[in-house]
Structure 1
Amino acid sequence: MKHVHIVLPLASLLLWLASAAQAQGLGVASIGATGGLHIPSAYVLGTGEMAASLGSEQDPKLGTFSRRRNYTLGFGLGGGVELFGRLAEYQNPRPTAPGLPDINGPRDLSANVKWQLPTEGLGLPLPRLAVGLTDVQGGASFFRSAYAVASDDWGPLRWSLGYAHSKARGQARVLDGLFGGAEMRLWDTRATALLETDGTRRHAGLRYYSEPLPWLGDAQLIGSVQRSFGATGTLGRPADANSFNLTLVLPLETDDATRDRRALAAAKAQAALPPLAPVAGAVAAAPLTDPLPALQASLRSAGLDRVRVGTLGDNLVVEYENHRYLQNEVDALGVVLGLAAEQAPSGVHRVHAITLKAGQVVFETSVNLAAFRIYLREGDAAAVQASMGFGRLPGYESESVQWLQAKASSATRVRVAFSPLLNHATATEFGLFDYSLAVQARTSANLWRGGVLYADLVQRVANSDNMEPGRIYAGSRHRNGLQTLALQQSFWLGERVFASVGAGRYQHDRIGAEGEAIFFVPGRDDTAHLRASVNRRTADAALHTTLPRTVDAVSALYRWRLSSTTWAEGGVHRYTDGSSGPALGFTRWFGDVALQLYARRGGSNTFVGLELSLPITPRQGMGAAPVQFTGSPRFVPGIRTLMTSDRNSGNFVKPDAVRPVDLAYEPEVEMLNSGRVTPDYMRSQLPRLRESFYLHALPLMP
């Protein structure tokens, strides 16, 4: 018994270590990387995670400022790579006359990148290792540093140790020399205590991790408070300070397990699907009455348009047009395939879904009936993946199908889609964020197969003072009124070229034409794109502007599919400012959100930037109706910066420079599911097909 006083505390400690060993999440350091209070760690954001932060930490060697703000936005790109953008705003606000610079301290936009080395496959007991860069090349270099860091978890303790070399200008050394820190979980709470050094200062603080928040897309909120020690200002005087950091970490895509749970939850809340026939692979007997009228009624009740159902031998064929499930065509496809499989006539062995846009066939998907019905009930996707077809139905001719109704009627005459428009200038000498915000209402009508007449009306909502007429950014202020009135025609040239051309009035006062041709490369999922626009200002408009009367632009791009959700692009452009040059791009899809990184060169100017493509519409919007109101399937805010060089010594704002073809009507967005139309992509979306059926279609079953 003499060792009890040692054993019991040791056992308690081990139990606490076991209970506290579970990681609670990742915080974001003030430099703009996952890590501690100020230093980076070897951990990175998970694939498809986005982190947005607001903080107030500042190196005192940059000066003394009453307003200290760090805004960061980061993304986990996969492959152990995370990318962060940081906007540092350190100012002493003062009254400034309109139109004059208001800057009196650092206002810097920078990019940070970190790569976690793939050490887990080595089979060695190594900690996590990462290398990173902060403040990648730009005009200013307040925070430039390169570093290597190791991190690991020991029960409730997370530690990091690394070395950095700073190349920042001036006295400030944001991350320089040996750095390290520790984060300790406080008992069984979601709070932690942190101690660290960045090579020049020491920091101590507290951090709290919230539970995932279902009402916010399973996002996690993380808050930190901290104090620096041993900090000195520009004159060597003590400059210890308190600061805070608030972070939102949001998963941009829904994993397959979550979709399966949603499907099961929806299934439990409704009537069960009828059982399958007892013979393996067979289909339960159909009712004595013809099920096609009920199937067509169910599809129309689902809000789909131009619905036709029929049979071709032992194939069930469904034609439909979707303008309700605009985030992703996969949702509409799940509704169609699910309802068709469950209400198929006897003798059918395969279901074909023919997807239309503007009455034009754009792609076709088919599944084995028995395999798909089993998948809906049991969730085993292997048989469906093996038998799923994507492409032209062999021997398919619309006239050969025995349709329930010879002609599909359209329930929708006019569609009105609302979308935000945003022009902005960020982190300039004249302001932190100058903007012009407007709403665009696009009214469109389908005239014939592939033919669409559309009009864009713009109403400005708000703008900053610097975008008022006569001010520094007045040229970026949105104009009210009719922006576009055009006729667009889309069509197939054979089986591998999809083309869309339009003509009319563009950009308020230009008469012209635009178009895009997309070539689907044989034997691969790659595509080649040719885009062009020619616009000429009307005579009256040309009298009131110094801008060129004729504006033409051409882009030729090749897109390499690296995976079903990732592609790289390379090509050449003639930009709208008359310059020419090459461009490279990288696009990664996370669910229905796309992140694009690009570099474009035109003449002596090279811009690098980021665009985030977001759906501005509910997953299930308004169904087909005489007048259908929707949101926009894609809203693409972005930010770019001019790379410095011998000819460009600073990050000057050139809003009209090196802009590629900007199509008013984007065929990929409007017709081709924003480019997500490959067989591999469709097969990867089977959990979403099943989830969509249970959420949106099961209640419509007769």
Structure 2
Amino acid sequence: MKIDLLRILLCFLSFTVFFLNTTEPKAEEFHNALSMQGFTGLLNIPTAEVTEEGKVYLLYSNQKERKWRGAIDHQDNYLVSFGLLPFLELTARFTEAPSDTSRYISDLSGNAKLKMPFIPEDSWLPQLALGVQDVTGGKKDQHDAKKLNTWYGVASKQVSILRLTAGYGTGPDRMEGFFGGIEAKAFDWLYGIGEYDAEEFHGGLRLVTPHLFGYPVNLQITAKTNFSHRPERPDFAIGMQFPIGTDRTKSAAALKPLPQTPAAHPPEISAVPTTEITTPSTDAAPSAHFGTAANLQARLTEYGFQNVRVGTRGSDLLVVEYENNIFNHNELDGLGVVLGTTTDIVPAGFSTLRLIVKKKGICILQISAPLEAFASFMKSASPGRLQSSLKVTPEIEEDGDVQYTSPGNPSWLTSSLMIQPGLRTYLGTEVSSFDYLLSLKPELFINTWKGGVIDARADIPLTWSRNFDTGRAFRNDRKDSQLDRLMLFQALKPVSTLMLNLGAGMVVHNLYGTLNEAMWTPGAGKHRFRLIQLYGENARGSRRMESYLAGYRYYFSQFDTCLEGTAGKFFPEDRGAVVELKRFFGDTAITVFYKNSEAADGRSHQAGGIQLEIPLTPRRDMKPRLVQVRGTENFSYEQETEIAGEGSLNFLGTPIGIRPETAFNLERVFYNKDRLSESYIRKHLLRLREAYVTFTEKK
């Protein structure tokens, strides 16, 4: 065995030295990748680096864990890591290890690593990080839900084409004591690795591809051997790295200046709506201004914008009111198209342009600046001047001397049919390694009057795993096809910073009552306070349910990140608190959460998890007509695991910390999924220009 070990080690060193002597790799940057344990690292130990901000790392490996490798036939490890912040990575791991014996391992766990952000990358000091592996689980009798637990500190330092790593772990399951390793960069795409994980020695190679076909997607392949245990049997891992979302403010459409040659004004549209003026024409408002207003209104309604009104006050002020229901990924797309169209059509004679964003006929936000500053920004892609003159406020100015066209393309009595999937999955439960339920949830919204909407949703199960069959463990979680919501909502804006949403009807299937929401967002949007109230009874009056919640949210504009805490009586009637950290990457959002609540049975429960929100609809939907058919702009999938304390295991437990919310809520419908604050708009001004260039073919 010693001879075999020596041969393997010599082969590994010779292979690495050969490449070091036949190439000159760039020493500036090491490519970080997932280890076989799920944290960013070498083979089985971490480095002080973290998953790249805004990226997802996926990895599969067949490595057997030391503590049970003698009792299992094989092991499958599925790992996913998120670069949530520049200094924070979060990893989920699912391990399945079947065996012909009675022992069967199925485990769902989470890792976290925090990199010290105060050490510059070019410093002579090493990078430092603290982390934890397998953070969930408790212990009961001889069974331990924490199978791979350890806390650790680690330091890494790059020296030319080498990166050295050393650290200490507390165990008890892995890395109990000192560990260390070295990476040698043979090519920009090939690394030789050697390490000691506090118990065993490992060596291996890692291959990372360049970007595939010009897209920021990389493949990773790792091969390793354990010098301390059966080195003739290597382990393998294969993975992928890709961005979580798309930052459209960095695209060519956002940054490339438009040609400076003056473009011809677009031709007037024949189907111009009636331009009756709510205030009689006077000498102070020449007919030329009304013609401009009518032409602009016609162009915006042709795009599909609703409730469009254009007003003028001489040559001093131009006001454009509109409601966007076609660019549903982000309200800034609609704002950009309206702004670009306005600067295209309207002559430079107007001094100030005021844009008013509406939702369900209610004026939500006002954006104003000199028209020339808007036009210059849309042409040059330089937001400096616009930033200094831009005003964003929820306070809508009411100027009695502004003369408006009559509303174009009203939204009343139009409807939107949203087709969306429903997906529920259970990983690593006590009855199976994986179960799923896929359903179809069509939801119809009918606009009745200003702020009024009828919401009707059905739930139609399509396919499921066998544990959702009759007589199986999760049958109660699969409902028959049914109408599970029928409500009337009325939204109100009593003051500029306060919104109300009052609802009544069938909240969920066979639960009738009220669901009300209040949201107060003072200032520039950094702070937000929210109240939610639900009361419901079943048709017979034998079941009553109540929920009262209060929440506070703080917005970190630098990272497009929200930290929110909610406490009270949740649905279904557990009492406790939920803390959420949510980060937007373009139109995709990642949320990590922690729940601590006391259920109706008096027992306390804790849970942690991660949620992914993505749009499942084209960036530009069909124009709103009598019925608009579209996908959902906010498909949500989450996976959570119970955090068991001492004396219990993290089996699938009682659901806790559920907010009673519908798709028609204030954050989603009226505030662009909490992305309509002044600070968000200022940071993403280039998104406006990108949408204008993309959707009006100004490339």
**CA spacing shift, 1:411–1:499, aligned 2, 3 Å:** closer
Matched, 1:462 2:469: no
The CA distance in 2 between the partners of 1:294 and 1:566, in whole Å, is: 40
- Other-structure match for 1:379: 381
- Other-structure match for 1:118: 117
The CA distance in 1 between the partners of 2:74 and 2:323, in whole Å, is: 53
- Other-structure match for 1:366: 368
Aligned residue identity for 1:28: L
- Other-structure match for 2:276: none
Per-residue CA distance 1:579-600 (angstroms, 9 max, x = gap): 3123322222222222222222
- Other-structure match for 2:565: 570
Matches within 5 A, 1:53-452: 53-63=59-69, 64-92=71-99, 104-121=103-120, 124-139=123-138, 140-168=145-173, 174-187=174-187, 190-213=189-212, 218-231=216-229, 238=230, 241-255=233-247, 258-259=250-251, 261-263=252-254, 274=263, 290-313=291-314, 314-392=316-394, 395-397=397-399, 400-406=401-407, 408-410=409-411, 413-452=414-453
Matches within 5 A, 1:528-607: 528-539=529-540, 549-563=543-557, 565-603=560-598, 604-607=604-607
Aligned residue identity for 1:605: H
- 1:331 CA displacement: 1.0
The CA distance in 1 between the partners of 2:99 and 2:664, in whole Å, is: 45
The CA distance in 2 between the partners of 1:288 and 1:450, in whole Å, is: 31
- Other-structure match for 1:97: none
**CA spacing shift, 1:255–1:152, aligned 2, 3 Å:** farther
Question: Which segment drifts farther, 613-622 or 657-666?
Answer: 657-666
Question: What is the DSSP-based 3-state SS (H/G/I as helix, E as strand, rest coil) of the residue aligned with 1:448?
Answer: coil
8 Å Cα contact 1:195-1:204 kept in structure 2: yes
Question: What is the DSSP-based 3-state SS (H/G/I as helix, E as strand, rest coil) of the residue aligned with 2:448?
Answer: strand
The CA distance in 1 between the partners of 2:413 and 2:23, in whole Å, is: 63
Per-residue CA distance 1:427-447 (angstroms, 9 max, x = gap): 112111212111111111101
8 Å Cα contact 1:293-1:404 kept in structure 2: yes
8 Å Cα contact 1:411-1:626 kept in structure 2: no
- Other-structure match for 2:686: 687
- 1:202 CA displacement: 2.5
Question: Which segment drifts farther, 306-315 or 381-390?
Answer: 306-315
Question: What is the DSSP-based 3-state SS (H/G/I as helix, E as strand, rest coil) of the residue aligned with 2:496?
Answer: coil
Question: What is the DSSP-based 3-state SS (H/G/I as helix, E as strand, rest coil) of the residue aligned with 2:202?
Answer: strand
- 1:193 CA displacement: 2.8
- 1:13 CA displacement: 7.9
The CA distance in 1 between the partners of 2:561 and 2:296, in whole Å, is: 36
TM-score (ref. length: structure 2): 0.85
Per-residue CA distance 1:290-346 (angstroms, 9 max, x = gap): 433432233234332222222235222112211221111111111111111222234
The CA distance in 2 between the partners of 1:619 and 1:181, in whole Å, is: 46
**Number of residue pairs aligned between Structure 1 and Structure 2:** 646
Per-residue CA distance 1:147-176 (angstroms, 9 max, x = gap): 2222233343333232323122xxxxx323
The CA distance in 1 between the partners of 2:515 and 2:551, in whole Å, is: 16
- 1:492 CA displacement: 0.7
Per-residue CA distance 1:502-552 (angstroms, 9 max, x = gap): 11123222222212110123576311111122222223xx8xxxxx72222
- 1:105 CA displacement: 2.4
Per-residue CA distance 1:263-313 (angstroms, 9 max, x = gap): 456958xx966499xxxxxxxxxx999433432233234332222222235
- Other-structure match for 1:99: none
8 Å Cα contact 2:613-2:634 kept in structure 1: yes
Question: What is the DSSP-based 3-state SS (H/G/I as helix, E as strand, rest coil) of the residue aligned with 2:591?
Answer: strand
**CA spacing shift, 1:518–1:119, aligned 2, 3 Å:** closer
- Other-structure match for 1:509: 510
Question: What is the DSSP-based 3-state SS (H/G/I as helix, E as strand, rest coil) of the residue aligned with 2:552?
Answer: strand
Question: What is the DSSP-based 3-state SS (H/G/I as helix, E as strand, rest coil) of the residue aligned with 2:696?
Answer: helix
Where does the alignment leave 5 or more consecutive residues of structure 1 unmatched?
1-11, 95-102, 169-173, 232-237, 277-286, 543-547
- Other-structure match for 2:623: 623
Aligned residue identity for 2:210: E
The CA distance in 2 between the partners of 1:699 and 1:291, in whole Å, is: 21
The CA distance in 2 between the partners of 1:92 and 1:363, in whole Å, is: 61
The CA distance in 2 between the partners of 1:57 and 1:220, in whole Å, is: 22
**CA spacing shift, 1:531–1:430, aligned 2, 3 Å:** same
Aligned residue identity for 1:650: L
- Other-structure match for 2:14: none
8 Å Cα contact 2:412-2:447 kept in structure 1: no
The CA distance in 1 between the partners of 2:592 and 2:289, in whole Å, is: 57
The structure 1 segments of at least 4 consecutive aligned residues displaced by more than 6 Å after TM superposition are 12-15
The CA distance in 2 between the partners of 1:420 and 1:590, in whole Å, is: 22
8 Å Cα contact 1:266-1:695 kept in structure 2: no
* RMSD of Structure 2 on Structure 1 (CA): 3.0
**CA spacing shift, 1:66–1:623, aligned 2, 3 Å:** farther
**CA spacing shift, 1:210–1:306, aligned 2, 3 Å:** farther
The CA distance in 1 between the partners of 2:396 and 2:479, in whole Å, is: 50
Question: Which segment drifts farther, 297-306 or 315-324?
Answer: 297-306
Per-residue CA distance 1:330-371 (angstroms, 9 max, x = gap): 111111111112222342122222112222222222233212
Question: What is the DSSP-based 3-state SS (H/G/I as helix, E as strand, rest coil) of the residue aligned with 2:333?
Answer: helix
Question: What is the DSSP-based 3-state SS (H/G/I as helix, E as strand, rest coil) of the residue aligned with 1:120?
Answer: coil
The CA distance in 2 between the partners of 1:426 and 1:599, in whole Å, is: 18
The CA distance in 1 between the partners of 2:552 and 2:293, in whole Å, is: 43
Aligned residue identity for 1:245: A
- 1:240 CA displacement: 6.1
- Other-structure match for 2:5: none
8 Å Cα contact 1:437-1:478 kept in structure 2: no
Question: Which segment drifts farther, 658-667 or 624-633?
Answer: 658-667
- 1:475 CA displacement: 1.8
- 1:699 CA displacement: 5.0
Where does the alignment leave 5 or more consecutive residues of structure 2 unmatched?
1-18, 139-144, 266-287, 599-603
Per-residue CA distance 1:472-498 (angstroms, 9 max, x = gap): 111211431212111111111222210
TM-score (ref. length: structure 1): 0.85
**CA spacing shift, 1:472–1:407, aligned 2, 3 Å:** same
Aligned residue identity for 1:342: D
8 Å Cα contact 1:84-1:112 kept in structure 2: yes
The CA distance in 2 between the partners of 1:472 and 1:450, in whole Å, is: 43
**CA spacing shift, 1:366–1:246, aligned 2, 3 Å:** farther
**CA spacing shift, 1:257–1:687, aligned 2, 3 Å:** closer
8 Å Cα contact 1:439-1:460 kept in structure 2: yes
**CA spacing shift, 1:266–1:52, aligned 2, 3 Å:** farther
